[in-house]
Amino acid sequence: MTSENTPEASGRPLFSLQRRERLMDELRAHGSITVSGIAAKFGVSELTIRRDVNQLADEGLVSRVHGGATLPSPLDRSASGSHQQAHTYSIGMVVPSLDYYWPQVISGARAEAEEQNLRILVRGSAYDAADNRKQVQALLDHQNIDGLIVAPDMTGAEGQELLRWLNALPIPVVLAERRSPGEIPAHRLEWVATDHAFGAGVAVRHLWQEGHRKIGCLTDSSSPTSPHVVRGWKQAMAALKIPLEGSVSEDSAGLGNGDRSEHFDRILELCRDTGTTAMLVHSDTQAVAFVQHCVDHGVDVPGSMSIVGYDDEVAYLAEPAISAVRPPKRYVGRVAVQLMAARLAEGRMRPVHRVELNPELVVRDSSVGGPRNVTAGSLQGSAAQDSQELEGSL
Amino acid sequence: MTSENTPEASGRPLFSLQRRERLMDELRAHGSITVSGIAAKFGVSELTIRRDVNQLADEGLVSRVHGGATLPSPLDRSASGSHQQAHTYSIGMVVPSLDYYWPQVISGARAEAEEQNLRILVRGSAYDAADNRKQVQALLDHQNIDGLIVAPDMTGAEGQELLRWLNALPIPVVLAERRSPGEIPAHRLEWVATDHAFGAGVAVRHLWQEGHRKIGCLTDSSSPTSPHVVRGWKQAMAALKIPLEGSVSEDSAGLGNGDRSEHFDRILELCRDTGTTAMLVHSDTQAVAFVQHCVDHGVDVPGSMSIVGYDDEVAYLAEPAISAVRPPKRYVGRVAVQLMAARLAEGRMRPVHRVELNPELVVRDSSVGGPRNVTAGSLQGSAAQDSQELEGSL
DNA sequence: CCTGAATCGTTCACGTTCGAACATGTTGCT
DNA sequence: AGCAACATGTTCGAACGTGAACGATTCAGG
């Protein structure tokens, strides 16, 4: 699924306006695009993309270059004499991945930066503290940044030391999708993060409302998100009075492809033994694989096994399409830039802000119409109540 | 229009208004619609849908595209011109006090509202859920408010019921200085609150840094702030490895003036017995009284007893002036209005935001130059390190 | 500076979608 | 009942979005 042309799987091709919007997203996420790459990705001809790019260029939203387009650059003389004032500040941004999850965060950040008239410099990094620090240092040394948005690795002593170092930087720092401990060594760090525990809770309650009374959880503890998902799952289970012992809770950290298949088999077996009819699966990538595995082994989804994924990157591609909790990635980037802009404008008098955002649940086929009929009669009242309460978040 | 409110009978075609509403629902659910698809789904001709779409586009609710419609897009240049910003909103604000703490919050809210071109209607209330609700209801009934900022009483079953009621209101609600539980019954409530636990921690660390090794805590549990202060005190004590047992921790809830004097005497006695040389006192009003009491009874402040107040309303009036943790009241109001303005502008697509703000410590005479000289030599290093770390927040 | 390869824009063709004009059915009012 | 106002459906020529072919242009590497 990497370089293969993956024409947008959903039925109808995109409208031109949507296509241009997505094109801008890609542009903001990666800084530049190629005509051929986008054409393949969107499943349309290159000519169409060229026309889009030209239109966007006429509106001054992109800079045309041979073979593709970039974000509007001051070097682009075709900039229609627009009174673009000089960038007030430059913000560095260091994220741990440029292919998964983060492009949308970057896209949101760039969109907000444009409104605030800021410049953003993005660098990818590995998922470890040492490289985080190296990338930040590079921005500090070679670019002239006035602020830093970063999603550092916070695990272990090295992570703590990195936090301490970030806290002591002479420029303002905003963490994205990370929470600094609200204590002294990191008290100057502002942050914006998704409340993944809430998201997991919404997913569990949705499954409960669909009639499931045994709800399992599969996560990958090598992701920084995982602990929060597990916490939210446990909290929701407690609130719904589902006992934790006897519930399926599995971790697939560090499994290869072969192991994974075995692991899925074991999970299905566990589910059978415990009567578990629904699973919350962290990382929708893994959810897609799990659904695939179920379908391949004759387990009906959602009939025998309902599934909600966590993260909504590729969930819609699966067959059946997977319900997924969608973190507000774009807003994470937006808010990070808002915090930074306000900090740069207002200085030290402004109190440290810390922002949590709620994700939303996107309901697709993999989680509706499960075992509801079995228990519908006796649970009608409770389900109706839950439905009303949940309404607003869907 | 058609005055009969005919509940939707299957088979009967929808009225145009209902149809447009459902069209918007489809749009919000899928991000885009096709004329042909919707026409088939609603069982009407494509032309009808086109007319609906055009009307909605004229109102700026959708973006017209060839073959269908999408959610309003900034790339849609037909929308940019009309842009009716003249529509200003009214926000109701209900706070539990109009003479203590809240005036500054209101002031900040008013300042931000002016910038955002909003109108604010403030009502005072008592510190109980029933009256909170009454005041909110009055705003809803007699003013025409588009949003609500409120600091409700959340204690007990009545408080929970109030939260549930607020959550179900048809207008957006932002809590000020209150945290709704991040769970389902209140999942639509946004809030902004000061991290009082952090503030208490800063105070404790400041006293530690001044050389104190036994630090007590005096609060008034009848205030909603108190539990957080106590929690922060305990956390900081744990982090600094000061044992909780043997530490002075007192509550002055519901004491009259005479009782209070006795209580202060008892506290001073406890401090003598336990070797406590510093106290964190919640509500600076009480801190002022306590300092007064100390001075009147020959206890030197800060020589024999260092004091940091929590809240910074009147702390500077005491003799000696009292160091105090100052919550960013003005910003609480500002952020509440910012959240509301953004919510009103962006609608339901915007994820729920929850914001925490850090207070700052204002150091005055009541907490400097205490017992430091006694232990300075051996603790120099540690104190210096803490000093550096604390610097930014002061 | 030259050359091959990639990229670009123009023109044409095809199918879909659009909207004006007119026709018809429905609702509400006098 | 009759009429007016409105909502909806049908028809048909025009407009639009897209893709293929082909010649013109630009780029990269000697």
Q: Where are the domains of chain A?
A: 1-84, 88-188+328-358, 196-327+364-393
Residue B142 main-chain phi, psi, to 5 deg:
-105, -30
Tell me, yes or no, if the two domains A88-188+328-358 and A196-327+364-393 fold the same way. Answer: yes
The CATH superfamily of A88-188+328-358 is Response regulator (3.40.50.2300)
Question: Are B179 and B190 in contact, with CB atoms under 8 Å apart?
Answer: no
| Structure token digits, residue B102 | 């809240």
pLDDT at A81: 52
User: Nearest CA of chain A to the CA of B246: how many Å?
Assistant: 24
Q: Is A268 in a helix, a strand, or coil?
A: helix
- Closest CB to A357 among B34, B353, B392: B353
- A196-327+364-393: CATH topology is Rossmann fold (3.40.50)
pLDDT of residue A177: 97
Phi-psi region at A254: left, alpha or beta (left = phi > 0; alpha = psi -120 to 50): left
Residue A141's pLDDT is 93
Residues 6+ apart with CB under 8 A from A89: A118, A119, A146, A147, A341, A344
Q: Which residues pair with B69 in a beta bridge?
A: B33, B64
Q: What is the pLDDT of residue B389?
A: 42
Under 8 Å between Cβ of A370 and A277:
yes
Residue nearest to nucleotide C27 (CA to C1'): B2
CB contact under 8 A, A59 and B76: no
Q: What is the pLDDT of residue A377?
A: 40
- Test A182 with B198 for CB contact under 8 angstroms: yes
- Which residues of B fall within a CB distance of 8 Å from A348? 392
Residue nearest to nucleotide C20 (CA to C1'): B47
Q: Does A22 touch chain B (CB under 8 A)?
A: no
| CA A15 to each of CA A19, A24, A394, B91, B243: distance values in angstroms, whole numbers, following the listed order | 6, 14, 25, 38, 66
- Cβ contacts of B77 on chain A, cutoff 8 Å: 59
Task: Using CB atoms, pick whichever of B70, B182, B386 lies closest to residue A15.
Answer: B70
User: Would an 8 Å CB–CB cutoff place B255 in contact with chain A?
Assistant: no
Second-level CATH architecture of A1-84: Orthogonal Bundle (1.10)
Q: Are A121 and A139 in contact (CB under 8 A)?
A: yes
pLDDT lower than 70: segments of chain B: 1-14, 78-87, 182, 184, 370-394
| A355 contacts B355? CB cut-off 8 A | yes
Residue A31, chain B, CB below 8 Å: the answer is: no
Indicate yes or no: CB of B184 within 8 angstroms of CB of A202: yes
Cβ atoms of B105 and B330 closer than 8 Å:
yes
Q: How many CB pairs under 8 A join A and B?
A: 123
Chain A: nearest CA to B390, how far in angstroms? 7
Domain boundaries B16-80, corresponding CATH code: 1.10.10.10
Task: Please tell me if residue B72 touches chain A, with a CB cutoff of 8 Å.
Answer: no
What pLDDT is stored for residue B2 in this prediction? 34
CB contact under 8 A, A187 and B205: no
Considering only the beta carbons, identify the residue of B65, B331, B355 that sits closest to A354.
B355
For the beta carbon of residue A265, count every other beta carbon within 10 angstroms.
12
Q: Measured between CA atoms, how close is B193 to chain A, in angstroms?
A: 10
Closest by Cα among A280, A356, A340 to A109: A340
Q: Which residues 334-363 on chain B approach chain A with CB closer than 8 angstroms?
A: 335, 348, 350-360
pLDDT computed for residue A186 by the predictor: 80
Distance A20 CA to D27 C1' (A): 26
Q: pLDDT 10s per residue in chain A (394 long)?
A: 333 333 344 456 788 898 999 999 999 988 889 999 999 989 898 999 999 999 888 888 888 889 889 988 766 666 555 555 666 899 999 999 998 899 999 999 999 998 999 999 999 999 899 999 999 999 999 888 999 999 999 998 999 999 999 999 999 999 999 998 867 678 899 999 999 999 999 999 999 999 999 999 999 998 999 999 999 999 999 999 999 988 999 998 878 777 889 999 999 999 999 999 999 999 999 999 999 999 999 999 889 999 999 999 999 888 899 999 999 999 999 999 999 999 999 999 999 999 999 999 999 989 988 675 544 444 444 444 444 444 433 3
User: Which of A182, A184, A198 is nearest residue B390 as measured by Cβ atoms?
Assistant: A184
CATH number for the domain formed by residue range(s) B90-188+331-357: 3.40.50.2300
Q: What's the pLDDT score for residue A291?
A: 95
Phi first, then psi: give them for residue B239, nearest 5 degrees: -60, -35
Distance CA A42, CA A217 (A): 34
For residues B263 and B273, give the distance between their C-alpha atoms in angstroms, rounded to a whole number: 15
